[in-house]
């Protein structure tokens, strides 16, 4: 058991490709590879469109970080 490596940080797996807003092509991450694994919420990943070569900076953040919802009455 490793229980102290990440504390309470929320780790999220970035998309390995996104769709370019401008041309609809596929964009692939720069400086991050799928084998790098999840990143902390709030990490910025840059993507480059393979068709128009536009660069997109995407903030990786979760909207459902309800990891520990215990409720006691
Ligand atoms: Zn594009």
- The reported pLDDT for the residue numbered 52 is 98
> CA 43 to CA 12: how far, in whole Å?
9
| Digit-coded pLDDT (tens) for 7-20 | 567 899 999 999 99
In angstroms, what is the span from residue 54 Cα to ligand 1's centroid? Answer: 6
Average confidence (pLDDT) over 18-33: 96
Measuring CA to CA, which residue among 42, 60, 48 is closest to residue 22? 48
In angstroms, what is the span from residue 65 Cα to ligand 1's centroid? Answer: 31
Length of the chain equals 73
Q: Predicted confidence band at 42 (pLDDT cuts at 50, 70, 90)?
A: very high
- The reported pLDDT for the residue numbered 53 is 97
| CB under 5 Å of ion ligand 1: residues | 20, 22-23, 25, 49, 51-52, 54
- The reported pLDDT for the residue numbered 62 is 78
In angstroms, what is the span from residue 25 Cα to ligand 1's centroid? Answer: 5
């Amino acid at each position: 058991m490793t229980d102290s490596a990440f504390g309470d940080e929320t780790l999220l797996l970035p998309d390995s490709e996104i769709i370019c807003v401008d041309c609809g092509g596929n964009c692939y991450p720069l400086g991050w590879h799928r084998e790098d694994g999840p990143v902390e919420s709030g990490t910025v990943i840059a993507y480059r469109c393979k068709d128009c070569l536009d660069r997109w900076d995407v903030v990786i953040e979760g909207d459902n970080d309800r990891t520990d919802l215990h409720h006691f009455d």
